[in-house]
Amino acid sequence: MTKFFSIVITSILSGSIALACHGGEVDKGTTPQPGDKTKQYCLSDETSVCSFIWFQSHINSNTPGKFVVKVLGAELNGTDVKVDLWMDMGNGHGHGSAPVKMTEISQNTYQIEEAHFIMAGEWLVRVQFTLNGKLAKIEIPVYVSE
């Protein structure tokens, strides 16, 4: 009987792990709504350079998301900035998504459209740019509940 229950529990656990993947620290249980902003995430070696997201659509795995990425504390060259979506599945495995559509609204401010969060779980929006000749990357956790 104990063995039976441990098999059931193991399969439930592995099922939930397959559905909800691992990422950074995120506000679990709430999926971003239009108007929501994330907190600021900063470079570890250049703590005055930070980024945050301002959501413009309800983020879910069925419809393409829309949001604005803002970078603070550095003057970026727009053509040098890349934004993509990443999901860390744990055990060194991860996956991305289709490329997003990105438009520079003003310096350091980027409109992102066609953001396909293709499954529920913990995503990272990765903002990459060159800073003082080096590649810098800020990862903003986004939790998608459905």
Residues at the contact surface with Cu ion, assessed by CB under 5 A:
21, 87, 119
Nearest partner of 43 among 135, 110, 122, judged by Cα:
135
Residues 28 and 9: their CA atoms lie apart, in Å, by: 22
Taking the least distance from each CB to Cu ion, the nearer of 22 and 70 is 22
| Minimum CB–partner distance for residue 15 and Cu ion (Å) | 14
Residue (68 or 89) nearer to Cu ion, CB: 89
Q: In this structure, what token pair is assigned to residue 41?
A: 């995430």
Report the residue number, 88 or 110, with the smaller CB distance to Cu ion: 88
In the complex, least distance from residue 121 CB atom to Cu ion, rounded to whole angstroms: 5
Question: Least CB distance from residue 96 to Cu ion, whole Å?
Answer: 10
